[in-house]
Structure 1
């Protein structure tokens, strides 16, 4: 199996709190990997470790065959990221905001126009960022991640706060990207109903622990084996999380 990202027992502790607990991920090259879990499950912390924004307490990870931390700079050159709500210079246009990023990264000038076109913002490129709608700001954030067409995208809840129409637009855009230029995408969400429309594989995280990793069909098979109703995957996801929470409470009593 050709994996673009693998983690081995990745762990992050903050004093007495374990945010990520022995997580081993296997993300196939050219796939969309849906990273699922309730708010506070450890998804963002895992992504920040992959981006070198916070150091693992324990464990290793490899990205495109490169090992962290020795190859940190080489790894970062291959990743475009969207973490939390993107921030922009309000009094610059969308195009000017991307121009700042492209200069910092040393990318070709045409990378700005390419990114605007990918996210459907070409005609709004000269509008001030402060006049963008929330959906347009999310698209501009994705354009920043897409500058130079990086082979890996790490997207942390890119549809957060959007209305159903905005969610649909961003979801369709993300789904189209691997076909447009053969990238690998790790995208997080707390809603399986959103992820199951685009993901090839999924990982389910709860309280920092990986409860499941595999395809949607494998999730259905797991649901049948464990006695969950497999006809509604959102219910399966919630049932797995609820069972894990109940097991945690039971262990705490012992």
Structure 2
């Protein structure tokens, strides 16, 4: 299967601190890829490099076989993103906030209503964003990422801070998107319990280094080989992280 995102030894250094250390990930077209790791592992920094928001110290990456930054504009036109907490104009409605994005991207007027319908916010389109609940704001953030139906979505901790009901709703929405729009999703989280319910493949990051990459079945096999139950992937995740932490002491 074709990889739509590939990073090759992607590295970001800040003076004496290495935030991302030679990370090489391979994301298959049409898959949901879970980028997993503790807070501060380097997930967001990696995503920002892929989005061109941060310049890598070294390494490179390809998006749909196009090398960044050679094809920067074309690459970015293929990606919708939600990085950290979504930010909107609080006194504008949800629809008005998306309308700004639509105009910037030169999309047809119908794309706003389509995006609101996809995330289940049509009934709240004319409500000011400041009156949205946290879950509704996350939905509006996802709507801003998928407006125009880009082939790649990058979502950074999209369920962060939500209650169980909100998490369940966002999870269902994300899981439905690849089949509905033939898109690929890269989603970061520090919760394996969330990732394993929606993702096809997983990359585990710790202290900026990629410790594991493979399918959920590969992770289950690794769990069994290390004496854990394959039904409880949380144990193998914590084992991998703890083992790496001990090596760094």
Q: Could you say which TM-score interval applies, normalised by the shorter chain?
A: over 0.9
- For 1:231 and 1:111, how far apart are their aligned partners in 2? 41
- For 1:56 and 1:11, how far apart are their aligned partners in 2? 6
8 Å Cα contact 1:51-1:76 kept in structure 2: yes
Moved over 2 A (4+): 223-231
- For 1:188 and 1:108, how far apart are their aligned partners in 2? 30
8 Å Cα contact 1:228-1:239 kept in structure 2: no
Partner of 2:157: 157
- For 1:225 and 1:209, how far apart are their aligned partners in 2? 22
Report SS of the residue matched to 1:145: helix
> Structure 1 residues 155-164 or 215-224, which shifts more?
215-224
Taking the TM superposition and a 5 Å limit, the aligned residue runs for 1:1-254 are 1-249=1-249
TM-score, normalised via structure 2 length: 0.98
Q: Deviations over 1:162-218 (max 9, x none)?
A: 001000000000000001111000000000000100000000000000000001110
Report SS of the residue matched to 1:197: helix
| Structure 1 segments unaligned to the other structure (5+ residues) | 250-254
Report SS of the residue matched to 1:91: coil
Give the Å deviation of 1:235: 1.3
Report SS of the residue matched to 1:179: helix
How many aligned positions are there? 249
Q: Deviations over 1:76-109 (max 9, x none)?
A: 0000000000110011000000000110111111
Report SS of the residue matched to 1:158: coil
Q: Deviations over 1:49-71 (max 9, x none)?
A: 00000011110100011100111
- For 1:109 and 1:85, how far apart are their aligned partners in 2? 26
- For 2:29 and 2:86, how far apart are their aligned partners in 1? 26
Report SS of the residue matched to 1:69: coil
